[in-house]
Amino acid sequence: QVQLVESGGGLVQAGGSLRLSCAASGTIGSINAMGWYRQTPGKQRELVASITSAGTPNYADSVKGRFTISRVDAKNTVYLQMNSLKPEDTAVYYCAAARLRSTLFIFDYWGQGTQVTVSS
């Protein structure tokens, strides 16, 4: 089992920045990628950014150039630096951990979520 604990959410004005953190514990050796998802009421959860165990990042088009995902393996922690925030970035952000199944990353483990609110 893998446990994920997020922190760093909050309220910020449009144009501001926040950094989310996700600390992983448990059988983390089985994890091949980490990611950040977000969800707003009535909408499906969407993948915002992910990073493989080799350090390769991937971003949703809506956040490219504004968000940066990174990892510090020594701390078993993944970060999401969010700059130039927009009101449409308002959501609950979830940290997730994936294992590689054949050629797909399957996100099996989830954190409890942290609220990010961007005011206009």
Residue pLDDT, tens place only, 50-93? 999 999 999 999 999 999 999 998 889 999 999 999 999 999 99
For 30, phi then psi, to 5°, come to -85, -5
Cβ contact 8:60 at 8 Å: no
| Span 31-41, pLDDT tens digits | 999 999 999 99
For residues 60-90, b (16+ Cβ closer than 10 Å) or e, as one string?
Answer: eeebeeebbbebeeeebbbbbebeebeeebb
Whole-number pLDDT of residue 15? 98
